């Protein structure tokens, strides 16, 4: 049996279930919600950037331009490549979150 | 008209996050053939109706996007002439030696004012399984998957599109076929042709340099656009929008994303362009119809998502 966890989006209070093997963005979209902006759905464009406030998760490949290694370790993730391993509380990325990765990329370059 | 100077788009090199997933997409879904993997792990592919050795190059990298796009020019003399013109206009031009292992002749490379790298070449190897020339059948074996015929064009996002339009039209001989213009006269989008297609490259104004909006492949018919859509749903591929039609260029189209988030297009149709044709202009208040002729409304994802 595939485990299912509840994802809560803090900004709007939306809650929806997500199987452990489905991306949080894909599960949200399939159930007809629009709380997180949907772009490429494949980890490349950065549009679905969120921050995990609490919960356990794993991530698939994400374009480093949008989530640097350091930022990823602090809970920043692309929702389309985010797979829950417990119930999760997440919030949409702020301009500050995005700037942090940009700065880190600029330093690394 | 005899086409001289720049003949057509030649190849494009894309960055992908996961080569295996990229190959399932470009080979098994779009239907390109893998022609080579080089010693650095880059994979070279082509569509069934292309004579040249390759048209798509994939490079595994930590971030998605485009490395460069290359155009084929008519002769080695034309290549020298373009190098001279670009240098004359103050562009830095890099000479790249022939590379037999990759079936490439010498190239010149430059960076456009939008931050995109371009290459020009006159010589490239012929594909083993290119279109037939003696009593030619339609194909060697029936085309697979989406049955794309060839790589067609790229739409690129960058900051100084005015500079890039100037470079392509004044130095490389492209014609502006169509454009979107804001009330204050700012050009928001430009479509440029080096031959008789409605576009060979398109540019959209955007804050960041060097972004890819999409890489496009030609299909034979509107039926094939539907067939491509069937494949996208069957394999749960990420669709952006379509099937629909553009007002600009009139192409019948569907947009989707590769497994690294790079946008692709497959399309059919579009008008024939002759160099005496006037430029077609869309105002920003009609831009919904310009972009998607059937929906007649702007789609935020299509306008803003790039790699
Ligand atoms: S939607 Fe593009 S990175 Fe998630």
ipTM score for this prediction: 0.94
pLDDT at site A108:
60
pLDDT at site A71:
86
- Please give the Cα distance from B143 to B221 (Å, whole number): 14
Q: Which residues contact A31 (CB under 8 A, 6 or more apart)?
A: A16, A17
State which ligand 1 atom lies nearest to the alpha carbon of A78. 4
Q: What burial letters (b/e) apply to B162-183, b meaning 16+ CB within 10 Å?
A: eebbebbeebbbbbbbbbbbee
Question: For chain A, which ranges sit under pLDDT 70?
Answer: 108-109
For chain B, percent of residues with pLDDT exceeding 70: 99
- Average confidence (pLDDT) over B262-283: 96
- Please give the Cα distance from B57 to B60 (Å, whole number): 10
Q: Is the distance from CB of B56 to CB of B11 less than 8 angstroms? A: yes
User: What is the pLDDT confidence band of residue B276, given thresholds at 50, 70 and 90?
Assistant: very high
Identify whether B53 is a catalytic site residue.
no
Chain position carrying tokens 């809560």:
A8
- Please give the Cα distance from B45 to B24 (Å, whole number): 12
For chain B, percent of residues with pLDDT exceeding 90: 96
Residues B234 and B288 in one domain: yes
Residues B176 and B255 in one domain: yes
- Please give the Cα distance from A38 to B302 (Å, whole number): 11
Question: Which residues sit with their C-beta closer than 6 Å to ligand 1?
Answer: A 25, 38-41, 43-48, 78, 80; B 261
pLDDT tens profile B186-213: 999 999 999 999 999 999 999 999 999 9
pTM (two decimals): 0.96
The residue among B106, B124, B142 that closes a domain is B124
The residue among B124, B142, B159 that closes a domain is B124
Does B1 score more than 60 pLDDT? Answer: no
DSSP state of B104: B
**In which domain, by residue range, is B26 found?**
6-124
Count: domains in chain B? 2
Does B299 score more than 70 pLDDT? Answer: yes
Does B132 score more than 70 pLDDT? Answer: yes
* Chain A / chain B CB contacts < 8 angstroms: 61
pLDDT tens profile B236-248: 999 999 999 999 9
Chain position carrying tokens 């998760």:
A57
Does some domain include residue B143?
no
Q: Which residues contact A78 (CB under 8 A, 6 or more apart)?
A: A25, A43, A46, A48, A49, A50, A59, A62, A63, A66, A67
- Please give the Cα distance from B259 to B21 (Å, whole number): 6
Does some domain include residue B26?
yes
Q: What rounded mean pLDDT belongs to chain B?
A: 96
pLDDT at site B12:
98
Residues B89 and B169 in one domain: no
- Please give the Cα distance from B281 to B248 (Å, whole number): 9
Residues B30 and B167 in one domain: no
Does some domain include residue B216?
yes
- Torsion from C-alpha of B206, B251, B110, B304, nearest 10 degrees: 20
pLDDT at site A101:
79
User: What is the pLDDT confidence band of residue B2, given thresholds at 50, 70 and 90?
Assistant: low
Q: For residue B176, how far is its CA from the centre of ligand 1 (angstroms)?
A: 33
Domains annotated on chain A, with CATH = 4-101 (3.10.20.30)
Hey, what are A85's tokens?
């391993």
Which residues of chain A neighbour B262 with C-beta distances below 8 Å? 40, 44
Distance from CA of A75 to the nearest CA of B (A): 19
Does some domain include residue B134?
no
Q: Which residues contact B255 (CB under 8 A, 6 or more apart)?
A: B214, B239, B240, B241, B242, B263, B264, B265, B302
Read off the CATH number of the domain in which B197 is found: 3.10.180.10
Does some domain include residue B132?
no
pLDDT at site B4:
85
Q: Which residues contact A71 (CB under 8 A, 6 or more apart)?
A: A97, A100, A101, A104
Q: Active site residue: B25, B54, B153, B213, which one?
A: B153
Q: What is the CA radius of gyration of chain A?
A: 13
**Residue B145 CA: distances (Å) to CA of A18, B225, B240:** 31, 12, 19
Residues B160 and B67 in one domain: no
- Please give the Cα distance from B177 to A10 (Å, whole number): 48
Q: For residue B170, how far is its CA from the centre of ligand 1 (angstroms)?
A: 37
- Please give the Cα distance from B152 to B144 (Å, whole number): 18
- Please give the Cα distance from B282 to B199 (Å, whole number): 15
User: Helix/strand/coil (H, E, C) string of A47-107?
Assistant: CCEEEEEECCEEECCCCCCCCCHHHHHCCEEEHHHEEECCCEEEEECCHHHHHHHHHHHHH
pLDDT at site A73:
80
């Amino acid at each position: 049996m595939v485990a299912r966890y509840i994802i809560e989006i803090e900004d709007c209070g939306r809650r929806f279930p997500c199987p452990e093997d489905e991306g949080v963005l894909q599960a949200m979209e399939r159930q007809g919600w629009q709380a997180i902006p949907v772009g490429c759905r494949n980890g490349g464009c950065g549009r679905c950037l969120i921050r995990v406030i609490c919960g356990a998760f794993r991530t698939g490949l994400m374009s480093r331009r949008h989530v640097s290694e350091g930022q990823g370790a602090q809970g920043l993730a692309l929702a389309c490549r985010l797979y829950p391993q417990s119930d999760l509380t997440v919030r949409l990325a702020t301009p500050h979150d995005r700037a942090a990765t940009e700065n880190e990329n600029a330093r690394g370059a | 008209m005899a086409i001289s100077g720049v003949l057509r788009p030649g190849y494009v090199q894309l960055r992908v996050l996961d080569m295996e997933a990229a190959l399932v997409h470009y080979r098994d879904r779009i239907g390109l053939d893998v022609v080579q993997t080089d010693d650095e792990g880059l994979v070279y592919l082509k569509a069934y109706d292309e004579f040249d050795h390759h048209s798509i190059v994939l490079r595994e990298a930590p971030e998605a996007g485009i490395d460069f796009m290359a155009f084929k020019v008519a002769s080695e003399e034309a290549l020298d002439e373009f190098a001279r013109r670009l240098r004359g206009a103050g562009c830095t031009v890099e000479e790249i030696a022939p590379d037999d292992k990759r079936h490439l002749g010498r190239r010149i490379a430059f960076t456009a004012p939008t931050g995109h790298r371009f290459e020009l070449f006159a010589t490239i190897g012929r594909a083993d399984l290119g279109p037939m020339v003696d009593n030619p059948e339609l194909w060697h074996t029936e085309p697979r998957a989406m049955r794309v015929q060839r790589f067609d064009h790229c739409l690129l996002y960058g900051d100084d599109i005015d500079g890039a339009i100037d470079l392509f039209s004044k130095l490389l001989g492209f014609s502006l076929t169509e454009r979107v213009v804001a009330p204050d006269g700012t050009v928001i989008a430009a479509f440029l042709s080096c031959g008789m297609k409605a576009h060979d490259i398109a540019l959209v104004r955007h804050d960041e340099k060097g972004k890819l909006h999409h890489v496009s492949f030609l299909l034979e018919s509107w039926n094939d656009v539907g067939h491509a859509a069937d494949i996208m749903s069957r394999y749960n591929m990420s669709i952006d929008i379509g099937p629909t039609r553009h007002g600009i260029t009139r192409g019948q189209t569907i947009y989707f994303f590769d497994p690294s988030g790079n946008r692709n297009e497959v399309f059919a149709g579009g008008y024939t362009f002759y160099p005496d044709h006037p430029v077609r202009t869309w105002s920003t208040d009609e831009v919904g119809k310009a972009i998607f002729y059937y929906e007649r409304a702007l789609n935020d994802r299509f306008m803003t998502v790039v790699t």
